[in-house]
Amino acid sequence: MKKIITILSLITILFLISFVLQSKYNTAIFNAINVPTPQETILVKQIHLAGTTFLFMNLLIYSIVLCFSIMAVILVFVLFNRRKLERRQRISDKFLVLYQKKLIDYLIDVNKEIPGAREKYIKEFRELSSGRYHKKLLMSQICDLNLTLTGLNNERLKGLYYELGFHKKTYRKVHSPFWYKKIQGFKELYAMNMTEKNDVLMEYINSKNELVGIEAQIALVDLSKENPDVNPFEFLGTLKTDFSLWEQITLHQIMVQRDIRVPDFGQWLNSQNDTVVTFCLRMIREYQQVSNASKIEELLDHKNEKVRKLAIEVLGDIKATESAFPLKKKYKEEVYENSLEIIKSLRKISNPKSIGFLQKVVDSEQDTNLQIEAVKAIAEMGDEGKIYLEKMMKSDYKDYNIIIKHVLDKRIN
Amino acid sequence: MWFFINFIFIFTLVLFASYLLLGYFSIKRLRNYTKRNSYTDYNSVGISPLSPSVSIISPAYNEEKNIVNNAKTLLNLHYRNFEVIIVNDGSKDNTFNYLVENFELEKVNYFFEYKIPTQKVRGIYKSRNPHYNKLIVIDKVNGGKADAINSGINLCRNDLVMSIDADSIIEPDSITKLVKPFLEEKKKKVIGTGGVVRILNSCEVKDGLVKAVNLPQKFLPKWQALEYTRAFLLGRMAWSQLDGLMIISGAMGMFDRETMIKAGGYDTQCVGEDMEIVLRMRRYMAEQKKEYEVTYIPDPLCWTEAPSDLKSLQSQRTRWTRGLMDALRKHNIIFLNKSYGKLGILGYPFWLFFEWMAPLIAFLGIVYTVYLGISGSINWSFFLLLYLFVYSFSVFMSAISVLFEELTFHKYKRKRDVLRLLGVSFLEPFLYPILSFFAIKANIQYLKGNKGWGKVHKNGSINGTV
C-alpha cells in the first residue's frame, strides 16, 4: 500500500508541475496568435491546428506527459525496489542465522543454569532488536522456533518473548483494525502458546472476513493444548458462517501436525450449519469414530443433498454394517449422485446380504456407472460374490462380460 | 469521412478508458490475492487426505521429443490425489511407442463409455510398474486437441479435470494452487480456474522443471513475454474480478467435470476451443439458473514456448483470431443479454469490439492515414500529437503491467531483465500494424472456412535452455 501511495504522490507532483508549465505555454502561444475575447476562455478557443481547441490539445499533451511521467516513476521504482529487496535479503540471510544461533545458545545456557546467563542474553537481544525491522525478524524467529519445541524450552522462549516486551506488540496486532495485522497477531498468539486473548479469538470466529475467522479457529484449536479441560472445537457450536472445504482441510492439518486432542465429532452432527456437519462427518471418517453410525444414519434424511451424500460416503468408510439396510432403502428416493454413492458404500461395507439388491441394480439400471459400481460391489463380497459374477457372465438375460472384465481387471481399480 | 474519423477517435478513447478500468480492477484483485495468500500453507493442503482427487489430461500429437519427460514431470507433481491421463491423439511419430517402452504399458480391459462423442479409442493402457500407477494412456484415432481432451474427460472419474498442453511445463505446486478456488467455494459453484502462463524461451529447464527464469533473447519472444504479462496480470485478473472472464488458457486450466460433461465437452470443430468451452460452460450454468463463477489466479503456474519467427507467430495469431470469431459467433446469444449477467453486458461486448474489431479498425485507420499522407491532406503536427498520445498510452499500459509483476511475483530475478522488458514496451507499438495485418488475414481465412491449426515451429527442450 505504501508503495502505491508513494507512486501516486510522485505522479501527482509531476502532473501539477506539467499543469503549471502548460498553462504558461498556452498563454504564450495564444498571445502570439490571437487576442482573447471576453466570451471565450483560452482553453475552449479554436486554434489553427486541425480546427481543434486548446482544451483538447492540452488534454492530449497532459495525457502524454502523464504517461511518460508514470513510466519514469515506474522505472525509478523498479530500480529502487530491486535494491531494497536485495538489501533486505542480505540482511535477512545474515541476521536470521545469527538470531537462530543466539536463541539456541540462550536455551542451552539457561537450561544449564549458568548464573547470569539469562540476563546477559536478554540484554544482548534487546540491543540486537533495537530497530523495527530487527525486532520483527527476532519476533518471527522466536515464534518459528517455539513451534518446533516442546516442554521447558517452550517456557523459556515464552519467558524471553515477554521479557523483551514482544507480547505487547502481539496484543496490539490482535486489536489492530487491519485484518492482516490481526491475523499476524493470532499466529503469534498460538506460536507462543499465549492463551490470554482467547476471549478475543472467540469474538472473531464468525468474522465477516473469512481469513480472520479461520485464523481465529486455528489459534483456538492450537491453544486448546494449554488447557486439557477445553474442547478444541468448542467454537463449532457457535459457528454461523460457512466453513469451506479449504478451511476444513487447514484445520484438519493443524490437528495432525500439532497433535491436537480429538473430540467426539458426533456432538455437532445436529448443527444448523451444514458446513459444520460436513466437517464433522469428514473428521468421523478420518478418526474412524464408528460409534456415531446411528447419528449419521439420521442424516440420510437431511434436507441438504450434499450432506446426505457425505453421510452415505462416511457410512461406507466406517464400514457401518448395520447401515446397509437403510442405505438400500434410500436408493430409489435419492438423486443420481447419491444413489451412486450408496452403491459405493455397499461395496465398502461388503455384506453378502446386499448381493441380491446389487444384482437388481445391474439388471434394471441403464447407467453404466451404476452398473460398474454394483458389479464392483458384488466382486468384493468374497466367495459368494465371485460365484454370482460367474453366473452373471453366463447370463442370457444381458451381456455383462465387458463390465465384469473391466471390474475384475486389477490394474484398473 | 468526418464520421469515420470521429468514430475511430471515440472508439480509441473508449478502448483506452476500458483498459484503465481493467487496470484498476486488476490491481484490486491482485492486491487482495497477494495479501490473502501470504497466509496460505499450500503444502499441507496438497498432502491432505481431504483434498479432492484431480485428473490431469494431457493431449499429445507428435510429441516424441518431450512426451516421456513431460509425463514424468506430471507424475511428480506435489499433490496427493491425482491421476495423469495422456491421450495419444493418433500421433504419426513414436509418441505412443516411447510411452509404452518407458512406462511399461499394457492394454487393460477398460470399459470406455463415449459420454461425449469422440473419435474411436483404440485402447486404454496402464503400467505394469506400480511406481507409475497414477498414469493412464489412451490411444485413439486422430481427432484434434479438443477431441483428445474429450476422450480424457470420458475416461476420468474424478470431480476435477485439469487440461494441459503436452509441450508446456507446469510448476510442481500448480494443482494445489488451482484447486484452492474450488475448495473455497461457498454460495457459488466454481466451474473453472486458470493460472498465468509465462514464456519459456531462454529459460533454463532441467528434468522438466524451470530452474532459472530469463527474459527471452530474441525480440519476438521478448515482446510476447511482455504481452503475456499484460494479458494475464491486467486483463484476465480484471475480468475475473468483474465476473466476465471468457477464456482459460488452453495451456493449463482446471474445470468441474460434471459441468463440462453436461455442457457437452470441448467443441471439436472450433480452433479456439479454450474460449469456446468457457463460454459454453458459462452459458449452461446461466441457462440452468445456477450460481457459479470462473476464476483466475495470478500465480505463474505454466511455462510455454512462444513462436520466435514471424511465420510461426502469424500462424498462431491467425488461429487465435479465427478461434475468437468462431466462439463469439457460436455464442452470439450472450451479446448484451442480461440473463448471462456481466458476461453478456461487459465481457462479450468487450471481446467483440476490442479484441475482434479493434485490429480491423486499426488496419482501416492505418490505410486511411497512408491515403491522407499521399494525398497531402494530413496535418502532420496534429497527426504526430495524436500518434504520440496513442503511443504513450500503449507504453504506459505495458509499464503498468511490468509494475504489477514487480509488486507481486517478480519472476525475473535480474534487474537487467526487468529493464529490458520495460524497453520492449517502447518498441511494441510498432508491431501493431503487423498484428493488424494478421487479424485481417485471419478474418479472410475464417470467411473462406479455414479451420486448420497452422504450423508453429517450437524447439522444445525438457533439459537445457529453450
Residue B416 has pLDDT above 80, yes or no: yes
Q: Which residues contact B343 (CB under 8 A, 6 or more apart)?
A: B243, B244, B246, B282, B286, B334
Q: Which domain holds residue A394?
A: 350-413
Nearest CB among A49, A180, A253 relative to B382 is that of A49
Q: Predicted confidence band at A177 (pLDDT cuts at 50, 70, 90)?
A: very high
Domain's final residue, options A349, A370, A394:
A349
| pLDDT, position B74 | 92
Domain check: are A325 and A375 in the same one?
no
Task: Report the share of chain B in percent with pLDDT over 70.
Answer: 96
Domain check: are A274 and A311 in the same one?
yes
| pLDDT, position A20 | 65
| pLDDT, position A1 | 57
**Residue A368 in contact with partner chain B when CB distance is under 8 A:** yes
A268-308: per-residue pLDDT in tens? 999 999 999 999 999 999 999 999 999 999 999 999 999 99
The DSSP secondary-structure symbol of B304 reads E
In a domain, A160, yes or no: no
A240-275: per-residue pLDDT in tens? 888 899 999 999 999 998 888 999 999 999 999 999
User: Within 10 Å of residue B251's Cβ, how many Cβ atoms?
Assistant: 21
In the stretch 146-185 of chain B, residues with CB closer than 8 A to chain A read 180, 183-185
| pLDDT, position B110 | 87
Residue among B326, B214, B314 nearest B267 (CA):
B326
Output the CA–CA distances (angstroms, integers) from residue B382 to A49, A248, B12, B385, in the order listed: 6, 62, 16, 5
In a domain, A193, yes or no: no
B352-382: per-residue pLDDT in tens? 999 999 998 888 888 888 888 888 878 888 8
Q: Is B166 helix (H, G, I), strand (E, B) or coil?
A: coil
Burial class (CB in 10 A: 0-12, 13-18, 19+), B284: middle
Q: Which residues of B touch A63 (CB under 8 A)?
A: 389, 392-393
Domain's final residue, options A311, A331, A349:
A349
State which amino acid sits at residue A239: L
Domain check: are A294 and A322 in the same one?
yes
Q: Which residues of B touch A250 (CB under 8 A)?
A: 41, 44-45
Domain of A297, CATH number, reads 1.25.10
Nearest CB among B50, B186, B395 relative to A242 is that of B186
In a domain, A180, yes or no: no
Domain check: are A342 and A403 in the same one?
no
Domain check: are A342 and A407 in the same one?
no
Q: Are B402 and A78 in contact (CB under 8 A)?
A: yes
| pLDDT, position A87 | 87
In the numeric block, which cell numbers belong to residue B411? Answer: 519472476
Residue B75 has pLDDT above 90, yes or no: yes
Nearest-5° angle of CA B367, CA B373, CA B377? Answer: 115
In a domain, A372, yes or no: yes
In the numeric block, which cell numbers belong to residue A362? Answer: 445391474
Domain check: are A292 and A336 in the same one?
yes
Domain's final residue, options A349, A368, A393:
A349
Q: Are B112 and B154 in contact (CB under 8 A)?
A: yes
Q: Are B191 and B285 in contact (CB under 8 A)?
A: yes
Domain check: are A365 and A324 in the same one?
no
End-to-end CA distance of chain B: 50
Domain check: are A284 and A356 in the same one?
no
User: Within 10 Å of residue B367's Cβ, how many Cβ atoms?
Assistant: 12
Total structural domains within chain A: 2
Residue A97 has pLDDT above 60, yes or no: yes
Q: Predicted confidence band at B464 (pLDDT cuts at 50, 70, 90)?
A: low
**Greatest mean pLDDT among A111-120, A137-146, A240-249, A289-298:** A289-298
| pLDDT, position A365 | 87
In a domain, A188, yes or no: no
Distance of alpha carbon B353 from alpha carbon B351, whole angstroms: 6
| Helix or strand (DSSP H, E) at B103 | helix B95-103
B119-150: per-residue pLDDT in tens? 999 999 999 999 999 999 999 999 999 999 99
In the stretch 93-152 of chain B, residues with CB closer than 8 A to chain A read 106, 108-111, 113, 126, 128
What radius of gyration, in Å, describes the C-alpha atoms of chain B?
22
Is the Cα torsion angle B335, B340, B345, B349 positive or negative in sign?
negative
Mean pLDDT of chain B: 90
In a domain, A388, yes or no: yes
Q: What is the mean pLDDT of residues B430-435?
A: 90
Q: Which residues contact B247 (CB under 8 A, 6 or more apart)?
A: B194, B236, B274, B275, B278
Residue A381 has pLDDT above 60, yes or no: yes
| pLDDT, position B219 | 93
Q: Which of the residue ranges A244-248, A293-297, A340-344, B452-456 would you say has the lowest mean pLDDT?
A: B452-456
Alpha carbons within 13 A on the beta-carbon side of B24: 7
In a domain, A257, yes or no: no
Q: Are B283 and B275 in contact (CB under 8 A)?
A: no
End-to-end CA distance of chain A: 52
Q: How many Cβ pairs closer than 8 A exist between chain A and B?
A: 126
Domain check: are A377 and A333 in the same one?
no
In the stretch 286-325 of chain A, residues with CB closer than 8 A to chain B read 286
Domain check: are A390 and A412 in the same one?
yes
**Cβ contact (<8 Å) for A249 and B388?**
no
Domain check: are A268 and A344 in the same one?
yes
Residue with the larger pLDDT of the pair B147 and B457: B147
Q: Are B202 and B215 in contact (CB under 8 A)?
A: yes
In a domain, A206, yes or no: no
Per-residue burial over B324-348, b if 16 or more Cβ lie within 10 Å, else e, is bbbbbebbeebeeeeebbebbbbbb
Q: What is the mean pLDDT of residues A110-134?
A: 84
Helix axes B310-330, B273-287, angle to 10 degrees: 20
Give the pTM.
Answer: 0.87
Domain check: are A336 and A359 in the same one?
no
Q: What is the mean pLDDT of residues B76-83?
A: 92
> Which residue of chain A has the CA closest to B187?
A242
Burial class (CB in 10 A: 0-12, 13-18, 19+), B130: exposed
A82-94: per-residue pLDDT in tens? 888 888 888 888 8
